Amino acid sequence: MLTRSRQVAVVLTVVLSAGAACRAHDHRPPESGRPAPAATVARGFTLVASGDVLPHTSIIERARFDAGGAGHDFRPMLSGIRSVVESADVALCHMETVYGADGDYTGYPVFKSPPEVADALAATGYDGCSTASDHTLDDGADGIRRTLDALDQVGLRHAGSGRTEQEARAAAVLRAGPARLAHLAYTYGTNDIPLPPEQPWAVGLIDEARILADARAARAAGADVVVVSLHWGTEWQEAPDEQQITLARSLTAARTGGRPDIDLILGTHAHVPQAYEKVNGTWVVYGMGDQIAGGMTGRDGVRDPRGNQSTLGRFTFAPPARPGGRWEVTRAEFVPQFFDVDAGRVVNLNRALARGAEVQAVRDRIREVVLSRGADQDGLVMGE
């Protein structure tokens, strides 16, 4: 595991979505003889999260085709899950690659994606993205700057990398219904690309002490819910590896004042769906899989369709039963997806069963993996 010796306090930047603006209320006393209105009951919120957005060369070419040859349009690729994403109070993606410019766009092994990806993510209904991955330094500090500039331009919050030290150390805070949600993100490494000497803080690297320090700082600054995205695990391995299991146990066990420091862990990187598990009372998604990717080749050099299979997690949070208490997950769901490389579209498998037995078999295999650590016994269900 990569470590850092320093622990830096998180600076929170609270961003309220347009839909969360306060409305004016009539504070006049009730008319004589009429009962006073009942006190408003605090409502919860739903969070949706999805896996790696990994535009290979074939994906870039498809987006150019969908744009009619002028620019790139990634919106059609995501249209099949837009209704699920935009219906959530807050939705998080994982932007694995950085963006290029002026037509300099490349796929594997060194990614530079068209910035129109950000437009598509925003149009689909995402509110923020994790940006810490093993490809975050594929184009150095310039790639990070271009990526975060593009996300800012479409109103997407981001966590895991930064153009300045303050930004890199900060949690992204989003309005999740009535709650303030802090989003933190880290990666196991950067494919042996060294951090810029003048910007050693540019990418968040996994370090247990730092993650917990950041989570506690976010909570102390007023976050109601703390979500941590981790780019981790062993590629092409459906079972979580030892590092994932050990770190998940440690992070979910950490408490301050009897309250967990972290409320949800979202995993990416493995290229295949991995299990969901409730650990120490906190939901952990070990790996959601690739939401967008070209045809994937496994470690044996053979095309592996699992690289285009993924899940979308949906978690319903209820407000604390008492002041200062924890926002509890009252419903946990997963939505099985796959990326149809021929059509260039993300497909919600539960809404595509009419395609036949092959689609059902893929859905059922994903479900088997997701539930492989007994998540169904803790209430995880398959949603649509």
pLDDT in tens, 22-39: 323 333 333 344 444 444
Please report, for the chain, the start and end positions of each structural domain, with discontinuous segments joined by +: 42-382
* 203 and 149 Cβ atoms separated by less than 8 Å: no
CA distance 338 to 345: 8
Q: What are phi and psi of 28, to 5 degrees?
A: -65, 145
Check: CB of residue 74 under 8 Å from CB of residue 117. Answer: yes
Cα distances from 16 to residues 13, 23, 246, 326, in angstroms, run 10, 14, 35, 21
Please name the residue that has the structure tokens 């070209």: 294
User: In the structure encoding, which two tokens stand for residue 123, read together?
Assistant: 């149009």
pLDDT tens profile 152-195 = 999 999 999 999 999 999 999 999 999 999 999 999 999 999 99
Whether 265 has a pLDDT exceeding 50, the answer reads: yes
Asked if residue 268 lies in contact with residue 52, where contact means CB atoms within 8 angstroms, the answer is: yes
pLDDT digits (tens, 9 = 90+) for 294-321: 999 988 889 999 999 999 999 999 999 9
Q: What is the pLDDT of residues 65-101, one digit of tens each?
A: 999 999 999 999 999 999 999 999 999 999 999 999 9
Mean pLDDT across 8-33: 34
CATH number of this structure's domain 42-382: 3.60.21.10
pLDDT average, residue stretch 264-281: 98
